[in-house]
Structure 1
Amino acid sequence: MNEIERLYTFLVQFPELYLATQEQGQPHILPIRSVHLENGRLYVIGCDKETLQRLNTNPKAALLAVSGQQQLRMEGRLLIEDSRCYFRSAQAELVSPDGTSQAFHISAQRPFENVYGKLIVSCQALPEEPLHSSVIMARMAEAARRAGAAGIRANSTADIQAIRTQVDLPIIGIIKAEYPDSPVYITPTMKEIDALVSAGPDVIALDATDRLRPGNISLADFVAAIRSRYPQQKLMADCSTPAEILQADELGFDYIGTTLVGYTEASRGHRIEENDFEWIRQALEQIHVPLIAEGNIDTPEKARRVLDLGCFSVVVGSAITRPQNIAARFTAALEKEGK
């Protein structure tokens, strides 16, 4: 029995449950009918529309339960799902009549394996882009969740932390950083790894091309250093060529992505969809870890095809989350037709 299941066995014994929220500094306490455990999530049953709207603005809440001299208080963040809500994460304390207490910590975070056969949405906006904001990226992630996305790819610790407050989907985390002595910019050094580990994404992705990193560090040495410092951290290789995919497999990455196909000197002029995704088909026959299709997957048809071929999951970014790119495709097509 895990932590959330143990907590649930106590909660169902209380005849009275209350939910405490705040709006503009004013407390609101209302009785709720019950709690319900479903798929590892603790749902609060009986919230009215006004309460759900309040939680959508300020997700912090407390669940209060009293039965005689036994008390339970749980504080955390709630997420809205359709017409009901559940605790994204919470700390709880159960105080028994004899004065002893038990502490609980729960989290509804989904395992990364849940993205299998499903869509991961890349929610990123660089500083020069109109939507650059951690708040906006968190809302973008929530929009992706409502659309059925199973995971999120995010850039920067600020965005990852903001997204965590909005959705409980697995996150692939990166930090884009430029250094003068290397073209590698996706999680290039241990500085970025340290920051990402603190932010807590499920998987950390990094450039896994054959280019030297800042300080003339090879990919093999960098991966070895990460494994030594953070042996439990899951890693994803962002590759650009078939040779790099094979190298990433040999180095023991947990996941391999086609993220950088067409974006490096070694892959210039290539597109991932060439010859019916030939590079993906080759990789699937040769590697021993899950392959995640990413990079120029800009139509639902392409996404469906790579999953049918056997990819573990598919990442789509600009075609969903960069409205300036989407609008540019429309305006370019209209201008072309008008000539």
Structure 2
Amino acid sequence: MGILDALAGGLVVSCQPLPDEPDDPMRDPYVQARVAAAAVRGGAVAIRANGPADVAAIRAAVDVPVIGLHKHGTAGVFITPTAELAVGVAEAGAHLVAVDGTDRPRPDGRPFADTVAAVHAAGALVLADVSTAAEGVAAVRAGADAVATTLSGYTAASPRRDGPDLELVARLAAAVPVPVLAEGRYRDTGQIALAFAAGAHAVVMGNAVTSPLWITRRLVPATPAGARRRTR
């Protein structure tokens, strides 16, 4: 079975500390590897992870495909923004390397196709994170092996929304001949079902599964103590 075939119809769990929380206690490769192992035991078909250290630790701890990326910076193109970082993630053990596949300028000045070629030469596949259907089509033409809706709502070309972009999932599924991964603001089983109905090959969930910090922040406001904290 191929790497992408292994993802078909399944849940991919993203194991990443919150990017805006440098002191997140979960920010440790060993911890992320344990979280990933628990997710796989629960039925996850693959793991998505950030940074070579986490990718290597998780690859050693699980027997499912690992989607690796390397976030660098906080604005513009920051999901594996250069060919050099992409190759580093592949060399750390990622089966697929997630790369910003939008049409925005890349920090190294190289076209997306160059990064695709470099990752393929390193023995891994490329998952293009996009925000629009047009970007997805262009990424596939440049050689991407799969596309994900990860960046919908995070670029000037895509409106911000509270929930997942199911419309983009459907448009991509109809427009590209490669697997479409539904990612971005998926939080419950109902949304997962809707994504598959829209044509998703797999669904990626992150904070709602793997971040105690994120989950607790969403729950605390419903408590009397949380309400008092808001009024101070």
TM-score w.r.t. length of structure 1: 0.61
* Among candidates 119, 123, 126, match of residue 15 of structure 2: 123
Residue of structure 1 in register with 2:46 after alignment: 151
Q: Count residues in correspondence.
A: 225
Tell me, in whole angstroms, the C-alpha distance in 2 between the residues paired with 1:156 and 1:111.
Answer: 20
Tell me, in whole angstroms, the C-alpha distance in 2 between the residues paired with 1:233 and 1:316.
Answer: 22
Query: CA contact under 8 A between 1:212 and 1:219: conserved in structure 2?
Result: no
Query: CA contact under 8 A between 1:173 and 1:205: conserved in structure 2?
Result: yes
1:188-236 Cα deviation digits (max 9, x unpaired): 1122122112112111110011111113333244435545x44x42100
1:255 pairs with 2:150? no
Superposed counterparts of 1:252-331, under 5 Å: 252-270=143-161, 273=164, 277-331=166-220
Tell me, in whole angstroms, the C-alpha distance in 1 between the residues paired with 2:163 and 2:145.
Answer: 21
Q: 1:151 to 1:110 in 2, by over 3 A?
A: farther
Q: SS of the counterpart of 2:181?
A: strand
Tell me, in whole angstroms, the C-alpha distance in 1 between the residues paired with 2:118 and 2:87.
Answer: 12
Q: SS of the counterpart of 2:186?
A: coil
Q: 1:302 to 1:214 in 2, by over 3 A?
A: same
Q: Which has the larger radius of gyration?
A: 1
- Unaligned 5+ segments in structure 1 are 1-108
Amino acid at match of 2:157: A
1:211 pairs with 2:100? no
Q: 1:152 to 1:183 in 2, by over 3 A?
A: same
Tell me, in whole angstroms, the C-alpha distance in 2 between the residues paired with 1:245 and 1:111.
Answer: 20
- Unaligned 5+ segments in structure 2 are none
1:161 pairs with 2:56? yes
Q: 1:146 to 1:224 in 2, by over 3 A?
A: closer
Query: CA contact under 8 A between 2:164 and 2:183: conserved in structure 1?
Result: no
More strand by share: 1
Query: CA contact under 8 A between 2:67 and 2:96: conserved in structure 1?
Result: yes
1:265 deviation in Å? 2.3
1:243 pairs with 2:134? yes
Amino acid at match of 1:199: A
When the two chains are superposed, the root-mean-square deviation of aligned CA atoms in Å is: 2.4
Tell me, in whole angstroms, the C-alpha distance in 2 between the residues paired with 1:246 and 1:184.
Answer: 18
Q: SS of the counterpart of 1:267?
A: coil
Tell me, in whole angstroms, the C-alpha distance in 2 between the residues paired with 1:224 and 1:163.
Answer: 25
Amino acid at match of 1:291: V
Tell me, in whole angstroms, the C-alpha distance in 1 between the residues paired with 2:103 and 2:3.
Answer: 30
Query: CA contact under 8 A between 2:12 and 2:44: conserved in structure 1?
Result: yes
1:197 pairs with 2:86? no
Q: 1:250 to 1:270 in 2, by over 3 A?
A: farther
1:148 deviation in Å? 0.9
1:131 deviation in Å? 0.8
Q: 1:222 to 1:202 in 2, by over 3 A?
A: closer
Tell me, in whole angstroms, the C-alpha distance in 2 between the residues paired with 1:321 and 1:328.
Answer: 13
More helix by share: 2
Amino acid at match of 1:188: P
1:268 deviation in Å? 3.6
Query: CA contact under 8 A between 1:119 and 1:316: conserved in structure 2?
Result: yes
Relative contact order (alpha carbons < 8 A, sep ≥ 6): 1 or 2 greater?
A: 2
Q: 1:261 to 1:324 in 2, by over 3 A?
A: same
Amino acid at match of 1:235: V
Q: SS of the counterpart of 2:223?
A: helix
TM-score w.r.t. length of structure 2: 0.87
Amino acid at match of 1:155: N
Query: CA contact under 8 A between 2:102 and 2:129: conserved in structure 1?
Result: yes
Tell me, in whole angstroms, the C-alpha distance in 1 between the residues paired with 2:221 and 2:157.
Answer: 29
1:332 pairs with 2:221? yes
Q: SS of the counterpart of 1:264?
A: coil
Q: SS of the counterpart of 1:265?
A: coil
Query: CA contact under 8 A between 2:119 and 2:126: conserved in structure 1?
Result: no
